């Protein structure tokens, strides 16, 4: 196999495929930097995720019968979620892919494998962010339900509240009286009596009626003796006035 011819042909193809992403670092031996990007751009997500890195491939003398040297330029890694753990996974995956393709030109295959892994990273990050968002939503929903439903009363939390309440009352200088008959012992004012019993708000004259014989009686059956009031018509009011004048002269 003419290794140089194989490498020249592959370099020509790579420069055509990755016209914007590829930078030639050296031509003897061949060494190139290729930008690899994975993102959810174009997807209908609430958040945009983009990971990118620069891979450097350096051909060895016997490439492609030997794997190229693969490096990840850590200074050109972009994406806050692109941590060390993902870097290790990506490097191991590229080395494994290279071993599987010994004997064949493989840079295009390695770049494709790297891009697929970045897309997998993006998908994993998206799922993590969605799970966190859902957890926040469920927690807020639970708090809202508690706000509207309140806390169910149990014997335990009632007793705890009762202890706190008694302490607050004592601290305020108030005495707690637990007398079930306190309401009964309380003397009601006339206003309260009329407000409680509307039947009291009736004139006394409405209680008087007459029976069949013309005798005035109260609804309860109490008769009124009108004869006691008949002599009032015979009284001479002038005599009462003279009596009052005589009493004044004697004084």
Q: Which pLDDT tens digit goes with each residue over 89-118?
A: 999 999 999 999 999 999 999 999 999 999
Query: What is the chain written as a DSSP string?
Result: --HHHHHHHHHHHHHHHTTTTEEEEEETTEEEEEEEEEE-TTS--SS--EEEEEEEEE--TTTTSSPPEEEEEEEEEE-TT--HHHHHHHHHHHHHHHHHTTTS--HHHHHHHHHHHHHHHHHHHHHHHHHHHHHHHHHHHHHHHHHHH-PPP-HHHHHHHHHHHHHHHHHTT------TTHHHHSPPPHHHHHHH-GGGSS-GGGG-EE-TTS-EE-TTS-B--GGGGGGGGG--HHHHHHHHHHHHHH-
Q: How far apart are the C-alpha atoms of 163 and 209, rounded to whole Å?
A: 61
pLDDT tens digits for 193-208?
666 666 656 555 555 5
Say how far apart CA 25 and CA 89 lie, in whole Å: 25
Residue scoring higher pLDDT (47 or 139): 139
Q: Which of 129-133, 148-152, 220-224 has the lowest mean pLDDT?
A: 220-224
Mean pLDDT of the chain: 78
Range of 76-85, 178-187, 214-223, 237-246 with top mean pLDDT: 76-85
Mean pLDDT across 126-138: 87
Q: Where are the domains of the chain?
A: 3-130, 203-240
Q: Is the per-residue pLDDT at 120 higher than 60?
A: yes
Tens of pLDDT, residues 223-250:
556 666 555 555 555 555 565 566 555 5
Q: What does the pLDDT read at residue 35?
A: 94
User: Would you state the pLDDT for residue 157?
Assistant: 85
Question: To the nearest whole percent, how much of the chain has pLDDT over 70?
Answer: 65
- Calculate mean pLDDT across residues 39-59: 79
- 3-130 — its CATH code? 3.10.110.10
């Amino acid at each position: 196999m003419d290794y140089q011819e194989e490498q020249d042909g592959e370099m020509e193809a790579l420069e055509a495929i990755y016209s914007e992403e590829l930078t030639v670092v050296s031509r003897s031996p061949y060494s190139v930097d290729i930008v690899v990007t994975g993102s959810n751009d174009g997807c209908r997500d609430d958040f945009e995720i983009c990971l990118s890195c620069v891979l450097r491939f350096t051909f060895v003398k016997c490439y492609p019968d030997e794997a190229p040297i693969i490096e990840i330029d850590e200074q050109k890694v972009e994406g806050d979620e692109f941590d060390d753990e993902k870097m290790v996974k990506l490097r191991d995956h590229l080395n494994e892919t290279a071993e599987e393709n010994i004997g064949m030109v493989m840079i295009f295959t390695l770049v494709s494998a790297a891009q697929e892994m970045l897309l997998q990273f993006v998908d994993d990050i998206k799922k993590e962010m969605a799970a966190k968002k859902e957890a926040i939503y469920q927690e807020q929903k639970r708090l809202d339900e508690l706000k509207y439903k309140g806390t169910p009363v149990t014997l335990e939390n009632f007793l705890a509240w009762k202890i706190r309440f008694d302490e607050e009352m004592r601290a305020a200088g108030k005495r707690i009286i637990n007398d079930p008959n306190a309401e009964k012992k309380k003397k009601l004012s006339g206003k309260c009596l009329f407000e409680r019993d509307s039947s009291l708000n009736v004139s006394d004259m409405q209680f008087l009626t007459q029976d069949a014989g013309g005798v005035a009686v109260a609804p309860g059956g109490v008769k009124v003796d009108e004869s006691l009031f008949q002599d009032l018509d015979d009284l001479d009011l002038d005599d009462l006035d003279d009596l009052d004048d005589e009493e004044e002269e004697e004084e």
